[in-house]
A and B are shown apart, each in its own frame.
Chain A
Amino acid sequence: MTELKKLLLGLMLLGAVTYFGGGGTWASFSAETSNGGNGISSGTLTMSDQINTGGLCLTTNAASANNVNPACGAALTLTNVAPGIAASTAKITIQNTGSIDASKFAVWASSTNATLNAAITSGNSVTSLTVSGLEGTVASGDTIVLSYGANTQTFLATAVATPPATTISVQASPPGPATANANYPIGATVTDTTSDTNSGSTAANNTDCYDRQTTSPGTVGATKGTDLNFNPILGNPFCARALLFVQETTGGLNYCWYGSGSPIDPIAPAVGEAVSGLCAIPIIGVTTSGVLTFPGNITSIPITPTTLNGSVSAGDQIVVTSGAHTETFTAGAAANFLIGSTGVTSIPVTSQAVTTPTFPAGSTVVDLTAANAMNSDTTSTLANFDTAHHSTGPIQLPPVTASGTANATASVQLAHNASRTFLVGLYMPAPSGINQNFLQGLVSTFGITWHIDQ
């Protein structure tokens, strides 16, 4: 290469470097990589609710499109109930169907609620909400929250609405003419957030649980509630008397979250069930499957499994009756004889001789201790559940680690894909010496809400 060519080449390189290096600067070597395809995706926190062996009720397809499904099935529908008959139960299984663990899991009494039955258009004046399925009484002045998807609007009720009302008269909150702030289609949730609180006006009449006189007889041709003149519904007297219990049975471990024997709202005197994790649910109408022979030494009472309907705690008095003959035994161990406990064929008792003539098969068996506890319980009522455990007083449900023991400090209360099982039951008590005719022909209706948080 000639010197000239070298010079020119060098000038070209210099120019090139100058060109790529910016004004007045030399171009440095550079290199580059890219991290493409980034994304951030959220997990899901959803749940399902199953009653007994029924279908799953999901939050993902709720009509209100806000991961809240207020319309899963009714847990129980009991008719023609008499004081002191055996409690009835339903099994409710709650599963976290999302991908994220729930740090909090709670149950509480539903507020007075309904669903919107006529759509509301954004910008339109709103003077009333057309609803269906009103459960509970709306008092004038109550705060009514309308919710659909990400939209909510708060109103104030301007008049009382009692079931089966289909209209709730409203104004804006604070008081004034109301204009819809978004579209609310049919199915939007309507919640009276003032209900179920002791500060609500006439609290006993402003709860989700409400009473009505029955309009259909319990048996064909019989008298019904509306035939009677001694069963007023003012103050929801049946809600104030009927007992509710929520018994967890997940994985065979028992915990009484609400009811006679629950450590949440303990009753006095205390019952043994609090130790065993069982709610006091008396076995009533259970029958013996074998003979208790006089004077025999009895260590267990054989029972007919299909008649099981309660729980027994160690130390409970178990009364066996045949005609005019009765014998009282002492339960030797705790046992849960509720739904699903088939295969239990006897109640262990502390050894005792039979002092009365032989009891034949078919003799009746009653857990007198549990029966007395429930019959005198005025705490575990539907009404108290409403006022003590609504959304601002939830019953937290930490995981049960042993029967009667829950881990209150657990960081996860319902892991993703995990499920927990509860028996929800009702019992009409038979307090000794108290005339309960005022409860004849009444029906109490109420709801239960299950909630998980991330």
Chain B
Amino acid sequence: MKKVLASLLVLGGLSFLTAGGTFALLNSEESNPGASIASGTLTFSNVVNAGTACFSYGGPASPGNVNNTCQALFVATTQNYPNVQATAQVKIANNGSLDASDLSVYMPSCTNTVTPGAPTPGGGNPCAAGGAQLYLQETDSSFAATKCWFPAGPTTCTFAANALSVFATNFATSAGALDLGSGPAHAQTRYFVVGMELPSTASNTLQGQAAQFGLTWHLTN
């Protein structure tokens, strides 16, 4: 009897394992969860003279990381005279986690306006040829000259005729910006001095006229 029962058990087992229909196969599985990729950041601050830091991410969410409301380098209400320089120090500090591969600067516009409070504007255009002059000087952290970016020259910049007009014409867009080379690296700062002057040969038509312009600094990684 036991032998008969054992045989039936084997038969039943074989039927279970080999007969048609579905049956459970063996399987095994492993997962590697938690893989991650985190992007860095490329942001910077712009400090004019002894002012407060103006951050690239302080602007609106769209387009994002563009801040057009940083402090002006020069104030139009400050009256300038021929052959008298005005300078502004600009510190570009990379406070992102990634190095910048390139820094550039451009002037989206230069607009001729009347000097606020001027009684008899001359009607000339300081943005045009014969008008104001500009230079862009890179320095070390103590603002000692290291390289003249515009007008291109040796270490120390000098004013050149029509410089503001030339800059406004040649470096008016992001695509056509003045390339200032690589950097700053993350946690590093680059220092610049921007100089402005009415030439000693300035025409009286420039009296009571103002050039309103912006300088846009652009970092890429």
Contact = CB atoms under 8 A, between A and B. Distances in A.
Interface of A: 34, 38, 40, 42-49, 51, 57, 59, 67-83, 92, 94, 98, 100, 102, 110, 113, 133, 135, 214, 217-225, 227-231, 238, 242, 424, 426, 428, 435, 437-454
B31 A113 contact: yes
Given A219-B97, A227-B41, A441-B39, 15 more contacts: A48-B30, A49-B30, A69-B30, A76-B36, A83-B221, A217-B41, A218-B39, A218-B40, A222-B40, A222-B43, A230-B57, A447-B34, A448-B32, A453-B25, A454-B27
Contacts of A445: 34-36
B84 interface: no
Given A219-B187, A225-B41, A80 B97 contact: yes
Contacts of A72: 30-33
A366 B5 CA distance: 75
A174 B172 CA distance: 65
A223 B96 contact: yes
Contacts of B162: none
A242 B29 CA distance: 26
Contacts of B28: 45-47, 59, 67-68, 98, 102, 451-452
Given A218-B98, A452-B27, A110 B41 contact: no
Contact of A223 (B36, B61, B97): B97
A447 B32 contact: yes
Contacts of A444: 36-38
A450 B43 contact: no
17 contacts: A38-B6, A46-B28, A70-B30, A70-B31, A71-B31, A73-B32, A74-B34, A79-B40, A80-B39, A219-B97, A222-B97, A223-B41, A229-B61, A230-B63, A437-B63, A440-B43, A452-B27
A428 B221 CA distance: 13
A449 B63 contact: no
Given A228-B43, A228-B57, A229-B64, A49 B32 contact: yes
A221 B39 contact: no
B5 to A, nearest CB: 13
A189 B13 CA distance: 32
A81 B42 CA distance: 11
A107 to B, nearest CB: 10
Contacts of A92: 32
Contact of B65 (A76, A230, A449): A230
Contacts of A219: 40, 97, 186-187
A447 B36 CA distance: 9
A190 to B, nearest CB: 12
4 smallest CB-CB distances across A and B, nearest first, come from: A230-B64, A218-B97, A222-B97, A447-B33
A34 B2 CA distance: 11
Given A217-B41, A222-B186, A428-B39, A230 B31 contact: no
B31 A82 contact: no
Contacts of A231: 64
A81 B33 contact: no
Interface of B: 3, 6, 10, 13, 25-43, 57, 60-65, 95-98, 186-187, 221
B220 to A, nearest CB: 10
Contacts of A224: 41, 97
Contacts of A80: 38-40, 97-98
Contacts of B65: 228, 230, 437, 440
Contacts of B62: 230
A450 B186 contact: no
A440 B28 CA distance: 39
Given A45-B27, A454-B26, A454-B27, A77 B98 contact: no
Given A223-B57, A230-B57, A453-B26, A82 B35 contact: no
A74 B35 contact: yes
A67 B43 contact: no
Given A229-B61, A453-B26, A75 B35 contact: yes
* Residue with the greatest number of chain A CB neighbours at <10 A, chosen from B3, B13, B26, B57: B26
Given A67-B28, A73-B32, A228-B57, A438 B39 contact: no
B41 A71 contact: no
A222 B30 contact: no
Nearest to A438: B64
Contacts of B30: 47-49, 57, 59, 68-70, 72, 94, 449-450
Contacts of A100: 26
Given A49-B32, A222-B96, A453-B27, A82 B64 contact: no
Contacts of B187: 219-222
A206 B131 CA distance: 61
Contacts of A435: 63
B38 A443 contact: yes
B155 to A, nearest CB: 21
Contacts of B13: 40
* Residue with the greatest number of chain A CB neighbours at <10 A, chosen from B27, B32, B61: B32
A48 B32 CA distance: 11
B36 A77 contact: yes
A353 to B, nearest CB: 30
* Residue with the greatest number of chain A CB neighbours at <10 A, chosen from B10, B30, B62, B63: B30
B31 A110 contact: yes
A133 to B, nearest CB: 7
* Residue with the greatest number of chain A CB neighbours at <10 A, chosen from B37, B62, B63: B37
Contacts of B186: 219, 222
B33 A113 contact: yes
Contacts of B35: 74-77, 424, 426, 445-448
A57 B186 CA distance: 39
A451 B39 contact: no
A238 B95 contact: no
